[in-house]
């Protein structure tokens, strides 16, 4: 047996196809255990923390993103202009990264800090911050997390499980809306029950055949089979948890998507992702969301002034008109993120704070300068979540290494409620980042 990470090879062709379809369909859409604490609308409720993470795969033009001045009195650079109304609600960081190379291939590890090929020495492989947080939620919401991608290929993902498996994102707005708000009738509930039973049967088949194949394997193959079984166990857990949410009423909303929403341009679809993210958090349907941006789609995604492909523009060769075209795309991303912050800030919660106060909203990229394929000094913004904000924080290199971006992630996870003192490659919490009194 070759150690190539594929499923055990004694599965017949039909079983392999069914398994692949099944695993692809899992994504971030599985349900969790029933709500165990008061909802955000109940008097005297404990208001939960939330985490959202938006990742851009082609970086951001450094000279248009990083402020020249350090501290609270920085001059707002071009790309951060859309966030000006939230000057006191966000911090912009420089000097943080994962000490990685690899160019575009490293961007999918933005939320982990660890390439999947180097994850063996870590207790939770290359788990991403969103999935680590989702484990802490422990089924208190309908969805432990939502993993979204506006426009991207199957090889792109930001979210990774604790056994190093990439989570395939949800790309359909209509599907996401249905998951959050579509009311289930008796027929659809029965169908859902049958689908869960079918998925469990497929897992039983796969596990049984893998068990029979596991005798006499070498050490490396046994390790791969152990990882495979870990994935199977996690999926079994999700299936069992999902059964407990069947029939539970979904929240009501007056929000509606336009017809054929999934056929709209990138420009027109993007705001709806953020709208549904805000509603998902507000209704406590989930507390953890990741959102990836990898491509624009056809014809510049509908953005005025964009005529060339996103990837091609990221390799601008310092040609000014290409940089200007690229900056149109990047400004759109920051404008939509700023709009999202505004929507979070509009929602008042029972503790007298806003949804933004209770949500850590991360924005950034695993690449700093796509033109040079640099993964150093990553562009990162963190808004809300109860931290003291309103400045540009710069972190100087420590010898040959940068301050780990995972230090920021550790601070966020502790604020989320995890009692941990390390996350992946962190060396501690992020110095200088403090919570409000």
Are 295 and 411 part of one and the same domain?
Answer: yes
Are 291 and 194 part of one and the same domain?
Answer: no
Q: Is 167 part of a structural domain of the chain?
A: yes
Q: Is 427 part of a structural domain of the chain?
A: no
Q: Is 5 part of a structural domain of the chain?
A: no
Distance CA 366, CA 348 (A): 33
For the chain, what percent of residues have pLDDT higher than 70?
74
Residue 225: pLDDT over 70: no
Residue 139: pLDDT over 80: no
Are 206 and 258 part of one and the same domain?
Answer: no
Are 237 and 260 part of one and the same domain?
Answer: no
pLDDT-derived band at 17, boundaries 50, 70, 90: very low
Residue 7's pLDDT is what?
37
**Can you tell me whether residue 235 is helix, strand or coil?**
helix
pLDDT-derived band at 215, boundaries 50, 70, 90: low
Are 321 and 223 part of one and the same domain?
Answer: no
Are 108 and 236 part of one and the same domain?
Answer: no
Are 145 and 235 part of one and the same domain?
Answer: no
Residue 361's pLDDT is what?
98
- The answer to whether 54 touches 332, Cβ cutoff 8 Å, is no
Residue 146's pLDDT is what?
96
Pairing of strands 288-293, 50-56: parallel
Q: Is 92 part of a structural domain of the chain?
A: yes
Are 60 and 195 part of one and the same domain?
Answer: no
Are 356 and 285 part of one and the same domain?
Answer: yes
Are 148 and 53 part of one and the same domain?
Answer: yes
Q: Is 293 part of a structural domain of the chain?
A: yes
Comparing CA positions, the residue from 274, 285, 278, 384 lying closest to residue 336 is: 274
Residue 219's pLDDT is what?
64
More confident: 349 or 14: 349
User: Which residue is listed with tokens 């920051």?
Assistant: 334
Q: What CATH number is associated with residue 275? A: 3.40.720
Q: Which residues contact 139 (CB under 8 A, 6 or more apart)?
A: 32, 33, 34, 36, 241
Q: Is 412 part of a structural domain of the chain?
A: yes
Lowest average pLDDT, out of 152-156, 233-237, 420-424, goes to 233-237
Give pLDDT tens digits for 408-433: 999 999 999 999 999 999 999 999 99
Residue 431's pLDDT is what?
96
Lowest average pLDDT, out of 107-121, 184-198, 297-311, 416-430, goes to 184-198
Structural domains counted in the chain: 2
Q: Is 14 part of a structural domain of the chain?
A: no
Residue 114's pLDDT is what?
97
CA 335 to each of CA 8, 217, 229, 238: distance values in angstroms, whole numbers, following the listed order: 47, 54, 43, 36
Residue 4: pLDDT over 50: no
- The answer to whether 47 touches 350, Cβ cutoff 8 Å, is yes
Are 83 and 208 part of one and the same domain?
Answer: no
Give pLDDT tens digits for 34-87: 223 334 444 456 799 999 999 999 999 999 999 999 999 999 999 999 999 999
Q: Is 388 part of a structural domain of the chain?
A: yes
Residue 245: pLDDT over 70: no
Q: At what angle do helices 186-213 and 13-26 cross, to 10 degrees?
A: 130
Identify the domain containing residue 197 by its residue range: 189-248
Are 90 and 225 part of one and the same domain?
Answer: no
Lowest average pLDDT, out of 86-100, 152-166, 298-312, goes to 152-166
pTM above 0.95, yes or no: no
- The answer to whether 85 touches 342, Cβ cutoff 8 Å, is yes
Residue 3: pLDDT over 50: no
Distance CA 15, CA 7 (A): 11
């Amino acid at each position: 047996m070759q150690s190539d990470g594929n499923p055990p090879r004694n599965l017949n062709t039909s079983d392999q196809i069914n398994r692949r379809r099944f695993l692809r369909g899992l994504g971030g859409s599985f349900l969790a255990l029933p709500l165990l604490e008061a909802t955000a609308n109940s008097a005297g409720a404990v208001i939960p923390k939330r985490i959202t993470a938006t990742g851009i795969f082609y970086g951001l033009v450094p000279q248009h993103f990083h402020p020249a001045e350090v501290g609270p009195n920085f001059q707002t650079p071009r790309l951060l202009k859309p966030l000006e109304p939230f000057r006191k609600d966000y911090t912009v960081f420089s000097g943080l990264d994962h000490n990685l190379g690899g160019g575009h291939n490293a961007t999918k590890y933005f939320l982990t800090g660890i390439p999947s090929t180097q994850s063996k020495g870590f207790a939770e492989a290359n788990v991403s911050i969103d999935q680590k947080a989702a484990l802490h939620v422990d089924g208190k919401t309908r969805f432990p997390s939502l993993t979204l991608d506006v426009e991207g290929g199957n090889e792109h993902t930001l979210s990774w499980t604790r056994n190093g498996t990439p989570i395939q994102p949800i790309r359909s707005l209509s599907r996401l809306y249905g998951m959050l708000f579509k009311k289930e009738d008796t027929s659809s509930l029965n169908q859902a029950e049958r689908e869960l039973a079918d998925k469990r049967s497929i897992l039983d088949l796969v596990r049984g055949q893998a068990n029979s194949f596991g005798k006499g394997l070498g050490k490396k193959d046994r390790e791969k089979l152990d990882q495979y079984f870990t994935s199977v166990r996690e999926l079994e857990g999700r299936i069992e948890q999902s059964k407990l949410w069947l029939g539970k009423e979904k929240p009501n909303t007056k929000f509606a998507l336009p017809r054929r929403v999934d056929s709209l341009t990138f420009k027109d679809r993007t705001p709806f992702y953020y709208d549904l993210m805000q509603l998902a958090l507000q209704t406590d349907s989930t507390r953890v969301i990741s959102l990836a941006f990898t491509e624009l789609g056809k014809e510049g995604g509908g953005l005025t002034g964009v005529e060339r492909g996103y990837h091609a523009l990221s390799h601008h060769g310092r040609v000014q008109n290409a940089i200007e075209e690229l900056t149109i795309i990047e400004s759109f991303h920051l404008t939509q993120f700023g709009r999202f912050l505004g929507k979070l800030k509009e929602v008042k919660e029972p503790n007298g704070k806003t949804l933004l106060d209770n949500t850590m909203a991360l924005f950034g990229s695993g690449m700093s300068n796509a033109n040079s394929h640099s993964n150093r000094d990553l562009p990162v913004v963190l808004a809300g979540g109860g931290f003291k904000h309103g400045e540009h924080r710069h972190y100087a290199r420590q010898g040959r290494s940068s301050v780990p971006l995972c230090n920021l992630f550790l601070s966020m996870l502790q604020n989320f409620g995890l009692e941990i003192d390390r996350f992946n490659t962190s060396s501690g919490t992020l110095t200088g980042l403090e919570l409000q009194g």
